């Protein structure tokens, strides 16, 4: 029934017909996470990395009220340049489709659509989580709810360091979401390789991760997995510099009363401004790094299928 709302790109359809590994990609990072033209350059390069690693990219978005699994160059340009692209989470989906609007998918919405398209691996920058001050604001990302319920493995550089990482990990533990450290015992904090918090298990190879995914879902243990892939050390930021920038950005957010889904784009933009653009370069590099690992995991997972 849901297929009446979905369009697949020719590349994705061919991959499905040939049982090739697919990697889902979100689109909020294009429309709301980075400025033009860096956003479209990043999007094209991420797709190239996945192809070069032996998988097929499936960037996901809503264009003119249609769910798109895989985008063509024109559609990517719309996301990168149009001013009327909505930020879409799970709750927004029916209304964006009904109004025939453009929508960029968050981690949560991308997971919803990846599951509908039977894509098991998804690469992003960092997951959302429990925001600082959530004990009074109750600001908790829908990404965490989706990870608890949706059978998609999410490759990320940990949780965005603007969040309360400790509470984010507590939420994931409570809801049975395994947190895997790829070749690392320490949960990364987006711009930095370490957060000071541990992971549930350290796995050394894409094959080991793929096997764990298969066993989990074969046993009917529904929900996603977080595959925490630390940013390459060459692009990691000084923890003191990034913490100071985040503290300043949070103060600006409070002063300007920024709330809800506008919070993360605002904070990331402020951190970029405060760090003189250094955080944007780090952001791009960690996305590239995650895309490469996701392609390897998708290939390994596909090889395990009958």
Measured in residues, the chain has a length of: 306
Give alpha helix (H) positions in 56-156.
73-81, 93-98, 107-116, 134-137, 142-149
Q: What is the pTM of this model?
A: 0.92
Q: In terms of pLDDT, which residue wins out, 162 or 103? A: 103
Q: Give the active site residues.
A: 26, 160
Distance between CA 49 and CA 124 in Å, rounded? Answer: 13
Q: For residues 78 and 263, what is the distance between their CA atoms, to the nearest angstrom?
A: 23
Q: pLDDT tens, 165-194?
A: 999 999 999 999 999 999 999 999 999 999
- Asked whether the predicted pLDDT for residue 133 surpasses 80, the reply is no
- Per-residue pLDDT at 278 exceeds 90: no
Which of 138-142, 202-206, 223-227 has the weakest average pLDDT? 138-142
| CA dist., res. 294 & res. 110, Å (int) | 15
Q: Give φ, ψ of 84 to 5 degrees.
A: -105, 20
* Contact status, residue 264 vs residue 224, Cβ threshold 8 Å: no
Closest by CA position to 75, among listed 60, 87, 95: 60
Q: What is the pLDDT of residue 269?
A: 78
User: Looking at the predicted structure, is the pLDDT value of residue 120 above 90?
Assistant: yes
Residue 59's pLDDT band (cuts 50, 70, 90):
very high
Closest by Cα among 195, 198, 135 to 165: 195
* pLDDT average, residue stretch 65-76: 97
- CA dist 143 and 122 (Å) reads 13
CATH number of the 2-303 domain: 3.40.1790.10
Which residue spans within 118-275 are E strands per DSSP? 121-123, 153-156, 179-182, 201-203, 225-228
* Choice between 90 and 1, residue whose per-residue pLDDT is larger: 90
Radius of gyration, CA atoms only, the chain: 18
CA–CA gap between residue 181 and residue 160 (Å, rounded): 16
Closest of 107, 133, 170 to residue 250, by C-alpha: 133
Per-domain residue ranges for the chain?
2-303
pLDDT of residue 139: 84
């Amino acid at each position: 029934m849901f297929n009446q709302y979905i369009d697949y790109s020719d590349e994705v359809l061919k991959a499905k017909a040939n049982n090739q590994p697919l990697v889902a990609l979100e689109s909020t990072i294009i429309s709301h996470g980075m400025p033009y033209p860096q956003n479209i350059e990043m999007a094209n390069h991420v797709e190239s990395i996945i192809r070069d690693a032996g998988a097929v990219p499936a960037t996901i978005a809503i264009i003119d009220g249609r769910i798109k699994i895989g985008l063509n160059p024109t559609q990517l340009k719309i996301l990168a340049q149009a001013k009327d692209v909505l930020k879409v989470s799970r709750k927004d989906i029916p209304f964006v489709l009904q109004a025939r609007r453009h929508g960029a998918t968050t981690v949560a919405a991308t997971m919803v659509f990846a599951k509908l398209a039977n894509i098991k691996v998804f690469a992003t920058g960092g997951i959302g989580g429990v925001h600082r001050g959530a004990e009074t604001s109750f600001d908790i990302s829908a990404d965490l709810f989706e990870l608890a319920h949706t059978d998609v493995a999410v490759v990320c550089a940990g949780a965005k360091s603007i969040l309360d990482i400790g509470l984010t990990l507590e939420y994931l533990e409570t809801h049975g979401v395994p947190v895997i450290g790829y070749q690392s015992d320490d949960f990364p904090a987006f711009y930095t390789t370490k957060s000071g918090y541990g992971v549930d298990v350290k796995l050394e190879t894409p094959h080991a991760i793929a096997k764990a995914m298969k066993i989990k879902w074969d046993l009917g243990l529904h929900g996603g997995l977080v595959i925490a892939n630390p940013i390459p050390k060459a692009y990691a930021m000084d923890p003191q510099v990034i913490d100071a920038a985040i503290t300043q950005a949070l103060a600006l957010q409070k002063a300007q009363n920024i709330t809800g889904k506008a919070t993360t784009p605002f904070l990331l933009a402020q951190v970029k401004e405060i760090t003189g653009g250094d955080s944007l370069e780090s952001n791009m590099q960690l996305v590239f790094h995650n895309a490469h690992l996701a392609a390897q995991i998708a290939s390994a997972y596909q090889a395990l299928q009958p």
